[in-house]
Amino acid sequence: MKDIINRVKKEFEQINNELNNQSLSNDTQKLTALSKKRSQILETVEKIQEYETLVKTMKENATLANEDSELAELAMEENIELAQKKPILEKELEVLLLPKDPNDAKDIIVEIRAGAGGDESALFAGDLLRMYMRYAEIKNWKTSIVSENRNDIGGYKEVVFEVKSPASSDPVYQNLKYESGVHRVQRVPDTEKQGRIHTSTATVAVLPEAEEVDIEIKDKDLRIDTFASSGPGGQSVNTTMSAVRITHLPTNTVVSCQDEKSQHKNKAKAMKVLRSRILQQEEERLAKERGDDRRSQVGTGDRSEKIRTYNVPQGRVTDHRIKKSWSNIDAILRGELDDIVTALREEDVRIKLENQSKKSE
């Protein structure tokens, strides 16, 4: 643990030195990235400082306790208290020093698609979109729709949006990476005359946003088509050819964007999604080659896995991965996701600590 602590302290010092470098004052992008990185390890650094202060104080007290002075008894009493606090601090530090997901600090692209259940599944996809948008608002994150495909009754066959966090805010991917998978809703649709409960699904994919430096996409590997943007039911809502469809030929990955009025802006957004999709495909391929047991981690399960059920008649939300339920379904659908996110992160940490313990045996 000592080597890891020294590495974190050195990294923190390097970040502070770079932030104090006047030559970076005009490089907003790098300044933002460094500020985010600093805020992410600040808690760990503060815990290290607290732990090192405790250890130093215990050593000083031990020296005083061996001397014939009136401070000896006070030093011994303080060390008894600090000895009880030390293992708690060590456990907290052990959690903070666990290997970090390199994508945790990244902003994200979220893709929600209607699944089984027809119009009801499209309406549920819209409910999930509003839930995440509201959660982002609560967390002070910025959201932007990249593309959407609505049906005639106000639901979404597919919607893609991005979520970004300011440097001072919680990292987005770290909080929402556990949302990828199949979400299931059980409720009585408005169109159901006999009051029968229907089950519908929607899939959610949370992609860490890939920068141009993360993955190289060659122009010759792209086919770019333009078309007029459309509204619900497919009717044309724009006479200009501003919508963009990009096909990455080697992987046959297709991304469309029509949210912006400018073809240039639509292309930029589509490329952002394309990079993120291809990067995730590459990461999944490498993980399989290494034989990583991705299912052993809460946040990296198969996208086809059923992860959560929203039972409206019973007012209950159940996450099947951790076998835990919450009874405040209305609040959850209004974006109050912190309890669920916290429970999933704690389980993820528990599994990682367990795996690390097995490796050290």
Q: By the 8 A CB rule, do 78 and 65 touch?
A: no
Q: Give burial (CB, 10 Å; 0-12/13-18/19+) of 348.
A: buried
Task: Give the list of residues 6+ apart from residue 288 with CB closer than 8 angstroms, or none.
Answer: none
Q: List the Cα angle 327/330/333 in 5-degree steps.
A: 110
What CATH number matches the domain at 108-292+303-350, 3.30.420.40, 3.40.50.1000, 3.40.1280.10, 3.30.70.1660? 3.30.70.1660
Model pLDDT, residue 194: 75
Per-residue pLDDT at 282: 82
Domain boundaries, the chain: 2-96, 108-292+303-350
DSSP at 25: T
Dihedral sign, Cα of residue 187, residue 191, residue 192, residue 198? negative
Span 235-241, average pLDDT: 55
The two structure tokens encoding residue 294: 């991705």
Strands lying side by side in the sheet with 243-248 = 222-227, 243-248, 253-257
Contact 214, 271 (CB under 8 A): no
pLDDT tens per residue across span 274-290: 999 998 888 777 767 65
Rounded CA gap, 176 and 114, in Å?
Answer: 19
Six-digit token string for 246 = 């990009």
How does residue 296 score in pLDDT terms, banded at 50, 70 and 90? very low
The per-residue pLDDT for 86 is 95
Hey, is 39 helix, strand or coil?
Answer: helix
pLDDT at 98: 84
The count of other CB atoms within 10 Å of the CB of residue 86 is: 15
Residue 343 binned pLDDT confidence (cut-offs 50, 70, 90):
very high
Cβ proximity of 226 and 217 under 8 Å? no
Predicted local confidence at residue 31, as pLDDT: 85
Distance, CA of 155 to CA of 317 (rounded, Å): 21
Task: Name the one residue in this structure whose structure tokens are 């959610």.
Answer: 204
CA atoms within 13 A on the CB side of 268: 6
- Determine the Cα–Cα distance for residues 277 and 354; give it in Å rounded to an integer: 31
In percent, the amount of the chain with pLDDT more than 90 equals 50
φ, ψ dihedrals at 251, nearest 5°: -110, -5
Amino acid at the residue 300:
T
